[in-house]
Amino acid sequence: MKWVEPAGLVKFDFLGLKTLTTIQYAVEMVRKRGIELDIDAIPIDDAATYNLYARGDTYGIFQFESGGMRRALMDLKPDRIEDLIAMNALYRPGPMDNIPSFIDRKHGREEVEYPHPKLSQVLDETYGIIVYQEQVMQIAQLLSGYSLGEADMLRRAMGKKIKAEMDNQRVRFREGSGPQGVSEALADQIFDLLAKFANYGFNKSHAAAYAWVSYQTAYLKQHFPHEFYAASMTLDMAQTDKLSDFRREAGKKKIEVVPPCVNASEVVFSVKDDRIHYGLSAVKGVGRAVAEHIVEVRGDKPFKDLGDFARRVDPKAINKRTLETLVNAGAFDALVPRREIAFAAMDQVVGTAQALTTERNEGQWNMFASSEPEPFRLPTSVPAWNSTERADRELSAIGFHLSAHPLDAYSDLFERLRVQRWGDFERAVKDGASAGRLAGTISSRNDRRTRKGTPMMILSLSDQSGTFEVIAFSEQITQFGAILQPGNSVILEVGAQERAEGISLMLNGAKPIEGAAESIDRQLTIFAADAKALPSVGAQLKRGGNGTVSFIVIRDAGAKEYEIELPGKYAVTAEVAGGIKALEGITDVQFN
């Protein structure tokens, strides 16, 4: 790098941006809808796209997604590409100090001033504030008669703070400014101002290219949000935190992200029927080769059942552990709704695939076999997974709760206890609330020490609306630390404060959800279509507790219903309700 230019050669820097691939993927998905979108010819004055920036809806937007940038955009309310270029250059250490003045000058709250009247033509678009390196060069040209080459040498000398060169340039600048009617004192003042900005000024051509790429992604997000999110999730498949955030952001726009499915999903994230389908290769431990194999053998003929799947896949391309991960992720729900049965059948799937592969390789043919393949018999008497186990397995396969959350079964309890969802509470804090009651499943716990050496803890939790963090200190850790363990679902009393970086939550109290549930009388109503299911239900019920249990037995094809209330009280929980609902012969379970 240091010797190329002195040798008379041109140095090039090449930057690879995954955002360009995100844009390409999104445009290709839009094309599949029959819409030809030339992303390089989109209108540069699209009001809806600028409104997206103005409301801070820039998660996933190249260069503009940080919390601080979002707040600055909401204050700036950009309405032209020049605003985006300037913000891209200003939002860096040093230039950031000028953002408040830039915003106030744009909206007329601060007077626009120029170091010299002649500089208005150079600094007009940035409201009198020097933002770009090119402006430093233009000012040198305009006020001191520098050539472009000389102006570039001035910029370099200022940027590198070479004193001897700077002293020479000051004399050159001062002498060149005289004929333009600029006094030596003002010339020195402007030179010092240029030196300050040249030290951290950003290259406008770079900022403009980045702002244009950002604008393209924002245009896609505004006008083609399904494709934008699917493409963004595809490029961030290895980062489950980002996938969870994109899924939550999509949910705010009423865009559904559905679990992976061997019959509907593609290798990467895709858009079908106004829904985003989870990519098979995004499931943990599956990998692109396995996903490509499943999609290839599926072709345009969906798998009829597990047997059909087993007969079409190559056991060398896919193993039992990978199949079990796909079961946990929900990828076989379309073939076998009960995941525990599909999970138990995977030995048989692999065995069938291996046997058929061996036959094909050895050229064997059974003359007594019928043309129809033997039916694939699913295992029976498989213990049901309760809602928590199902959700935990899905979490391990996907990295976050996609189709269900451990808290789903407690919705009515939360209503009674006035427990808010995180998304609702976050809005309430922005409107002035300072305390509340939240429920969450703990995903991680980070124990550390304060500067004074006392214990503190940071909990990461999630509910159906998103993820959040709660900070606890010594007193709360002593009192509630035992129940605040990863995997536990808890109800928290929190204090809240809105800060520049977001909502800060402090723990005041905590209790297990089941403990809270036991303090309220519960009613479990079980709808059974077959009396044979009753012994299995009885095995799930335990006497003692706070719940009453009723059976609705449906007979004669629905013509008759019999309601039977069991005497006494039972330990009724969401876990019990979920386990009973999964039993064969049970049509529905209501838990109130």
E-only strand ranges, 312-454: 435-449
Instruction: Share the mean pLDDT of the chain.
Output: 87
Q: Which residues pair with 491 in a beta bridge?
A: 439, 511
- Here the tokens at position 81 are 């590409």
Band of residue 228 on the pLDDT scale cut at 50, 70, 90: very high
| pLDDT for 558 beyond 60 | no
Band of residue 72 on the pLDDT scale cut at 50, 70, 90: very high
Whole-number pLDDT of residue 44:
97
What is the separation, in whole angstroms, between the first and last Cα of the chain? 71
DSSP state of 368: T
- Here the tokens at position 148 are 């472009």
pLDDT above 70 covers a percentage of the chain that reads 94
DSSP state of 38: -
Average pLDDT over residues 321-349: 95
Whole-number pLDDT of residue 519:
61
Radius of gyration of the chain (CA): 32
Greater pLDDT, 275 or 182: 275
Q: Check if the beta carbon of residue 474 is closer than 8 Å to that of residue 455.
A: yes
CA atoms of 206 and 192, how far apart (whole Å):
24
Closest among 534, 517, 513, 549 to 583, alpha carbons compared: 534
Whole-number pLDDT of residue 560:
59
Phi-psi region of 86 (alpha: psi -120 to 50; beta: other; left: phi over 0): alpha
Q: Which residues pair with 270 in a beta bridge?
A: 277
Greater pLDDT, 324 or 538: 324
Q: What residues have CB less than 8 Å from 147, skipping those under 6 apart? A: 141
- Here the tokens at position 430 are 């922005």
Greater pLDDT, 366 or 496: 496
Whole-number pLDDT of residue 237:
92
What does the pLDDT look like over 81-133, one tens digit per residue?
A: 999 999 999 998 878 889 999 999 999 999 999 988 889 999 999 999 989 98
Closest among 31, 104, 526 to 271, alpha carbons compared: 31
Greater pLDDT, 415 or 205: 205
Least confident range from 164-173, 379-388, 522-531: namely: 522-531
Torsion sign across C-alpha atoms 72, 74, 75, 77: positive
Residue type, 46: D
- Here the tokens at position 452 are 């004074």
Q: Check if the beta carbon of residue 270 is closer than 8 Å to that of residue 29.
A: yes
Least confident range from 19-28, 377-386, 449-458: namely: 377-386
Least confident range from 176-180, 221-225, 444-448: namely: 176-180
Backbone angles phi, psi at 590, to 5 degrees: -110, 130
| pLDDT for 301 beyond 90 | yes
CA atoms of 336 and 188, how far apart (whole Å):
79
CA atoms of 468 and 150, how far apart (whole Å):
54
Torsion sign across C-alpha atoms 404, 410, 416, 417: negative
β pairing state of 435-449 and 466-473: unpaired
Q: Check if the beta carbon of residue 334 is closer than 8 Å to that of residue 264.
A: yes
| pLDDT for 481 beyond 70 | yes
DSSP state of 372: S
Q: Check if the beta carbon of residue 374 is closer than 8 Å to that of residue 348.
A: no
Whole-number pLDDT of residue 556:
62
CA atoms of 327 and 335, how far apart (whole Å):
10
The DSSP-derived string for 405-437 is: -TTGGGHHHHHHHTPBPHHHHHHHHHTT--EEE
Q: What residues have CB less than 8 Å from 338, skipping those under 6 apart? A: 382, 384, 582
CA atoms of 391 and 339, how far apart (whole Å):
11
What does the pLDDT look like over 40-51, one tens digit per residue?
A: 999 999 999 999
Whole-number pLDDT of residue 5:
80
Q: Check if the beta carbon of residue 131 is closer than 8 Å to that of residue 89.
A: yes
Band of residue 340 on the pLDDT scale cut at 50, 70, 90: very high
- Here the tokens at position 470 are 């709660």
* pTM (global) more than 0.85: no
Band of residue 77 on the pLDDT scale cut at 50, 70, 90: very high
Closest among 279, 578, 557, 560 to 402, alpha carbons compared: 279
Domains of the chain, first to last: 18-206 (no CATH), 236-398 (1.10.150), 408-516 (2.40.50.140), 521-591 (no CATH)
Unique residue bearing structure tokens 């994109």:
246
CA atoms of 324 and 430, how far apart (whole Å):
43
Least confident range from 258-262, 291-295, 541-545: namely: 541-545
| pLDDT for 137 beyond 70 | yes
Band of residue 559 on the pLDDT scale cut at 50, 70, 90: low
Q: Rounded to 5 degrees, what angle do the CA atoms 406, 410, 416 make? A: 155
N residues, the chain: 592
Closest among 56, 123, 133 to 92, alpha carbons compared: 133
Least confident range from 214-228, 337-351, 396-410: namely: 396-410
| 80-84, 313-317, 571-575 — most confident range | 80-84
Greater pLDDT, 206 or 165: 206
Least confident range from 227-241, 366-380, 403-417, 474-488: namely: 366-380
What does the pLDDT look like over 370-429, one tens digit per residue?
A: 456 667 889 888 888 887 788 889 988 998 888 878 888 787 778 777 889 888 888 888
Q: Check if the beta carbon of residue 41 is closer than 8 Å to that of residue 283.
A: no
Q: Check if the beta carbon of residue 204 is closer than 8 Å to that of residue 138.
A: no
Q: Check if the beta carbon of residue 110 is closer than 8 Å to that of residue 104.
A: yes
CA atoms of 564 and 372, how far apart (whole Å):
46
Greater pLDDT, 500 or 142: 142
Distance of CA 236 to CAs 119, 229, 243, 270, 277, Å? Answer: 45, 10, 7, 14, 15
Least confident range from 150-164, 504-518, 548-562: namely: 548-562
CA atoms of 580 and 587, how far apart (whole Å):
10
Unique residue bearing structure tokens 């004074």:
452
Q: Check if the beta carbon of residue 146 is closer than 8 Å to that of residue 136.
A: no
> Which residues in 246-257 are b (16+ Cβ under 10 Å) and which e?
bbbbbeeeebeb
Whole-number pLDDT of residue 576:
79
Whole-number pLDDT of residue 365:
55
- The helix or strand, by DSSP H or E, that contains position 462, with its residue range, turns out to be strand 455-463
Q: Check if the beta carbon of residue 39 is closer than 8 Å to that of residue 216.
A: yes
Band of residue 61 on the pLDDT scale cut at 50, 70, 90: very high
Band of residue 298 on the pLDDT scale cut at 50, 70, 90: very high
| pLDDT for 207 beyond 90 | yes
Q: Check if the beta carbon of residue 430 is closer than 8 Å to that of residue 502.
A: no
Residue type, 497: Q
Backbone angles phi, psi at 208, to 5 degrees: -70, -40
